[in-house]
């Protein structure tokens, strides 16, 4: 003889309990010193957006925490160690601002630059710095204009993207730019193809830069 049990379940819909459960599970606590009113005030949405953007800051500090970059530190006093840390933070801030400015400019111009793999519209500051490898500067004598030689077109474009004041400096002259990259370089070919598209054309270039 076998015994079978049958379970009958009745579910009542209670909107209030459901709403409380959703509210409790949707709650995310963030603590901030930003005021709700007055100077520097921020809404709840602003605070949450700041929190979501912290990954960009943490990514930059990951570079500073690398032991191969920071260590070794040959300093003996706490004051000098703190001063060195401040220099690193200021350098990191400059690095991040250059990167943000370049990406904002590229987005507004609809342009790209050579990257690690082909071309990119979101280069890191390290990629931008690497673009300037191989530039020579010639100075004839005291008070004479400085001539920038062995510069490529992509390097001139990068200076224009960064809005570098050297482009408008009266005492700096640029030789005719060389063609960027090597014809057999796949990354160069990708960059050249994308740059020749009509939508990639620069519209606010300084004199001498297409």
What DSSP letter does each residue of 100-124 carry, written as one string?
A: HHHHHHHHHHT--EE-SSSEESS--
State both tokens at 11: 């579910």
As a whole number, mean pLDDT of residues 26-32 equals 84
- Please choose, from the candidates 201, 186, 197, the residue with its C-alpha nearest in 3D space to the C-alpha of residue 118: 186
- Please choose, from the candidates 62, 183, 178, 187, the residue with its C-alpha nearest in 3D space to the C-alpha of residue 123: 187
CB 113 within 8 A of CB 131: yes
* Residues 40-94: tens digit of each pLDDT: 899 988 998 888 888 776 776 776 666 656 667 788 898 998 898 898 888 888 8
* Residues 32-55: tens digit of each pLDDT: 999 989 888 999 889 988 888 887
Rounded CA separation 28/64 (Å): 29
3-state secondary structure (DSSP) of residue 192: helix
pLDDT for position 76: 86
């Amino acid at each position: 003889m076998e015994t079978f049990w049958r379970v009958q379940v009745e579910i009542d819909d209670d909107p209030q309990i459901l709403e409380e459960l959703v509210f409790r599970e949707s709650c995310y606590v963030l603590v901030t010193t930003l005021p709700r009113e007055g100077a520097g005030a921020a809404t709840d949405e602003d605070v949450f957006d700041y929190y979501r953007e912290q990954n960009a800051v943490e990514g930059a500090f990951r570079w500073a925490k690398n032991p191969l970059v920071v260590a070794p530190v040959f300093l003996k006093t706490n004051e000098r160690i703190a001063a060195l840390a401040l220099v690193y933070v200021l350098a990191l801030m400059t690095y991040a601002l250059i990167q943000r400015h370049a990406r904002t400019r590229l987005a507004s111009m609809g342009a790209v630059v050579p990257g690690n793999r082909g071309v990119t519209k979101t280069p890191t500051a390290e990629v931008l710095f690497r673009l300037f490898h191989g530039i020579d500067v010639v100075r004839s004598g005291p008070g004479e204009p400085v001539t920038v030689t062995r510069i490529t077109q992509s390097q001139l474009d990068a200076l224009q993207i960064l809005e570098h004041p050297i482009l408008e400096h009266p005492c700096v002259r640029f030789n005719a730019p060389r063609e960027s990259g090597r014809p057999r370089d796949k990354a160069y070919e990708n960059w050249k193809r994308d740059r020749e598209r009509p939508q990639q054309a620069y519209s606010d270039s300084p004199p001498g830069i297409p």
